[in-house]
């Protein structure tokens, strides 16, 4: 649709939200492979990391939209992104962030202040998700099963709240890796136009799982949970009920 005021195409804004190691980077890269789309990979979390560890600087994931002005405070990040989006001629403009219950500010900022037209949540089989979560070797107190369960349940709550307020899609990682772009097209129909010939995945600047960022194709879901204890498997199996019901 043409926006006559700015003489540009009216874009659709979307968000991608999921737990770490749930497939958010894969989904983000799929959207970035479309010629009419850019999806920024964790720009708010990147800003927090940069200001915490290396001082104030630009946000790498904004590179596809051109030069980004220096951002001094967290509260400037979303207004800067929204301004760059408003000046873009691309049809689809999105932000991907990962949700951790102990650091929810990035996701809450997006859901509250970004003004997304569509929220896309990606969920993964809890066994596979926690297996990757545990293998991440974050080296902190949050990589245990208790924090994973709390994050998983709170993410499901966000899905419920979002569904009550605006168009919301739930993508299951296992179905995406099994059926590829056809599954994504079916889930997004009537909301987002996903091309049929989306075969080569393009990596973009920004944060995300390094292996997923290096991949150029949709690969089969990992089904090996040897790093989980029997107790962790039993707990994750209880979460499967919620996963299967969505």
d(CA 48, CA 81): 15
d(CA 50, CA 28): 21
Tokens, residue 206: 């920004």
Closest CA to 184 of 41, 201, 175: 175
- 207-233 average pLDDT score: 70
- 148-160 average pLDDT score: 96
Q: What percent of the chain has pLDDT over 70?
A: 75
Range among 57-61, 70-74, 75-79, 159-163 with highest mean pLDDT value? 159-163
Q: Does the pLDDT of residue 64 top 90, yes or no?
A: no
Q: Does the pLDDT of residue 235 top 70, yes or no?
A: yes
pLDDT tier, 69 (very low <50, low <70, confident <90, very high otherwise): low
Instruction: State pLDDT tens for residues 184-205.
Output: 999 998 888 888 776 655 565 5
Closest CA to 155 of 175, 177, 130: 130
Cα 194 to Cα 30, 36, 214: the distances in Å are: 10, 10, 22
Q: Does the pLDDT of residue 13 top 80, yes or no?
A: yes
Residue 195 CB neighbours (<10 A): 13
Residue 65 CB neighbours (<10 A): 18
Answer with the residue of higher pLDDT: 21 or 196.
21
Q: List the chain domain ranges.
A: 13-245
Residue 103 CB neighbours (<10 A): 13
Q: Residues 6 or more apart from 131 whose CB is under 8 A from it?
A: 222, 224, 225, 227, 228
- 50-62 average pLDDT score: 54
User: What is the sign, positive or negative, of the torsion defined by CA atoms of 77, 201, 192, 221?
Assistant: negative
- State phi, psi for 18 to the nearest 5 degrees: -170, 175
H helices of 33-125, in order, are 43-53, 77-87, 105-113
The pLDDT assigned to 15 comes to: 96
- State phi, psi for 188 to the nearest 5 degrees: -95, -5
d(CA 82, CA 79): 5
CATH annotation of 13-245: 3.40.50.300
pLDDT tier, 41 (very low <50, low <70, confident <90, very high otherwise): confident
- State phi, psi for 171 to the nearest 5 degrees: -100, 130
Q: Does the pLDDT of residue 55 top 80, yes or no?
A: no
Range among 15-19, 139-143, 185-189 with highest mean pLDDT value? 15-19
């Amino acid at each position: 649709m043409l926006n006559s005021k700015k003489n540009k195409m009216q874009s659709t804004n979307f968000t991608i939200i999921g737990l770490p190691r749930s497939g958010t980077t894969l989904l983000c890269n799929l959207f970035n492979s479309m010629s009419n789309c850019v999806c920024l990979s964790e720009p708010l979390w990147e800003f927090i990391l940069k200001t915490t560890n290396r001082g104030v600087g630009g946000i790498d994931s904004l590179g596809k939209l051109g030069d980004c002005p220096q951002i001094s405070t967290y509260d400037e990040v979303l207004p800067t992104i929204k301004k760059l989006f408003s000046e873009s001629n691309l049809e689809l403009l999105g932000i991907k962030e990962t949700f951790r219950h102990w650091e929810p500010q990035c996701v809450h900022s997006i859901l509250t202040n970004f003004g997304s037209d569509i929220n896309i949540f990606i969920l993964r089989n809890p066994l596979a998700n926690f297996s990757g979560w545990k293998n991440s070797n974050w080296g902190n107190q949050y990589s245990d099963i208790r924090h994973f369960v709390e994050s998983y349940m709170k993410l499901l709550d966000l899905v419920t709240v979002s569904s009550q307020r605006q168009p919301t899609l739930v993508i299951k990682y296992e179905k995406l890796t099994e059926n590829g772009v056809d599954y994504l097209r079916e889930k997004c129909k009537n909301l987002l136009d996903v091309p049929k010939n989306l075969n080569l995945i393009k990596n973009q600047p920004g944060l995300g799982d390094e292996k997923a960022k290096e991949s150029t194709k949709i690969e089969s879901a990992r089904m090996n949970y040897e790093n989980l204890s029997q107790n962790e498997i039993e707990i994750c199996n209880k979460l499967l009920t919620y996963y299967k019901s969505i």
